[in-house]
Chains A and B, each alone.
Chain A
Amino acid sequence: MNHSPDSTLHLIGLTGTGKTNFLVAFDVILDNPADENGLIHSDLADDRAYLQPLKEEWLQGKIFERTNRQAPPPPHQLLVKHPASDTRIGFNLPDLAGETFEAHFVTRSIPQDLWGRLEKATGLLLFVHCNHNADHAILEQPGFIDPTPTPKTESVLPPAEATDEWKLEDASMQVKLVDLLQFIAESGPRKTPLRIAVIISAWDMVEKAQGIGPGAAAELPKNPALFLARRWPLLNQFLESHTDTFSFRTFGVSARGGGNSKEEIERLTHLDKPSERVILVDDTHRSNDLTRPVRWLLGLLDSTPPSNV
């Protein structure tokens, strides 16, 4: 039997991107494997004081409260086994609040203890929400304000000075994420590129979205990698251009499995196997196996190449 050293995988993502939902659904899937090549619990960690209550809420279809940055969750461990390769792994999955990463961007710094863990990390799970805007929408000038557009002298005068100053907190989401990755890249070259599983959360919303017009497929691709390239271009291009530092692969994930309405909660809890709520899309692969991104990070998935190779 192989015994891998303990690994640390980090969940990174801004506020409301589904990190905790992923963590809890992952724990559920470990008990109810959805794929014969998937991961399973090898043992229960000594301390499940953080995960167990959340698991109960997840099973009841409840909505989680935001992870509190001021009272961060205690460190917790998951002990898993990969039966196909007879490998046992114990790994840490710290569940940090999205505000933590916002704070790193704003303060342009990372505490030494977290930095040390990031430097040693086996891989990262980078979360973006499918319904979040990667960038700020640009104001478009309407085309029918002035029917007599001949410029007059006064139109040359400068526009009124706006007083709203840009603040670091105002940066767009993809800029924040790219800068965080640039911070990590500043740690210098690794022996092998750091693996990043990009998780596009609430993927059920993408699958349910109705296309409007002939360009709908291009606007809202149903393939996670294409979705990232189309909707998060700066992040996608940054990752694609840093093959020596990062190796990434994109997954569409619905860890909760559906919406928050009463009908949706009823539908989700009505399923006989809770694991069937989960949706995992990896290119053409679609299943309930939420361990797939983690297996890819740990090098336990098939030899499918990452997105940027």
Chain B
Amino acid sequence: MPSCSQAQCRIAETGVCLEGHKQGCPHLLSDQDAPAAVTPLLQPPVVATVPEPRRFHTGEKLTAAEASRLLNGKPARVVLCVGSRWSGKTTFLARIGEMFRDGSFARYRFAGSLTLCGFERATWLATIASGASRPDTLRTRRAENDTFLHLCICPEDDKSRKLDLLISDLAGETFPTAVATREFCSDLRSLGRADHLVIFIDCARLVDSVQRHTECDNARTFLQRVSSVRNQSKSLQVQIVFSRWDYVLRHSERVVHEKYCKDVEADFEKRFGNIFADLKFRRIAARPSDGIEATNGEIQSLFAHWLETPLQQSQPDAARNRQPVRDFSAFGLV
């Protein structure tokens, strides 16, 4: 154990330097400098015990295990957002957090969140305080797959009724893998448990004739994949979001692109209308540029849809909601 030339320093007993040095303290004595031990150290040194501080939730996105614990305690709705890179998933979620923070959410009121830091992180590059020159969003990393933002809210007209929501967004960089490989989708715990699946189709790509077919095909293929890997696809509510809608609104051939989106809707309805519990389409611009207003009403409407749509629950799920405390394995972790 090192010792110190300063009389007040108790590094020899506690291992903590008086001046806070982790290494390289100039007062530290080498073993040769230290006085020879009078008696052999037969007993371990007495270490002063400082009570551990009371620790709380990290404020960051919940892991699947943490989300499972929350689901064990109370029913919550689970939402999974997927889409290609830069399609606006995180910006959309950041915008939900911003509307609660600025009090502009109309039908629901904020009642808590275990992931306030996660929401702040998502918004940070769109704030003046960040020093950014233009609004941007921190991208979701691959490691954040199967992690969850949490919100507890209550309806405007019934503050005693709390509703919990867990929202996961799949890192855009892994979306091609999700489209291409069945195993990846099978292993996605958020997909297995989701009540709502939101697929983002990026309008910045839809207005580009080179990229638009790929963008739509990826969404289609992913939905096919989901219908094959999910046991209960009839219990899954699906929303297709035409994201970054401002790219359509300000396009010189706006009418053409609006019609294309209508055609995409019809195609998806035909292919998947009977496979999932519900299929809805939304047009969203969460953080548009060039003076176009954000579609806050549409974002709030989608948020309300997650909470208000009756779930097509399978029998075990119904039992889970009656006795949430018995749900030991909401994500199949135990």
Contacts and interface: CB of A to CB of B under 8 A. Distances in A.
Interface of A: 107-113, 115, 134-139, 141-146, 149-151, 153, 155-156, 158-159, 162, 164-166, 168, 170-172, 174-175, 178-179, 182-183, 185-186, 229-230, 233-234, 236-238, 240-243
A298 B146 CA distance: 47
Contact of A155 (B57, B126, B204): B204
Interface string B101-132: 11100000111101011011101111111111
A39 B195 CA distance: 56
Interface of B: 51-59, 85-86, 98, 100-103, 109-112, 114, 116-117, 119-121, 123-132, 134-136, 138, 154, 159-160, 162, 204-205, 207-208, 210-211, 247, 250-252, 287-292
A108 B55 contact: yes
A168 B117 contact: yes
A55 to B, nearest CB: 33
A168 B56 CA distance: 14
A156 B290 contact: no
B79 to A, nearest CB: 21
Contacts of A139: 126-128, 132, 134-135
B290 A159 contact: no
Contact of A183 (B56, B128, B287): B56
Contact of B56 (A134, A170, A186): A186
Contacts of B135: 138-139, 141
A238 B112 contact: yes
Given A233-B101, A243-B159, A141 B117 contact: no
Given A112-B52, A159-B134, A241-B154, A143 B291 contact: yes
Contacts of A156: 86, 204-205, 208, 211
Given A139-B127, A139-B128, 7 more contacts: A109-B53, A112-B52, A112-B54, A141-B135, A166-B130, A234-B110, A243-B160
A138 B126 contact: yes
A170 B129 contact: yes
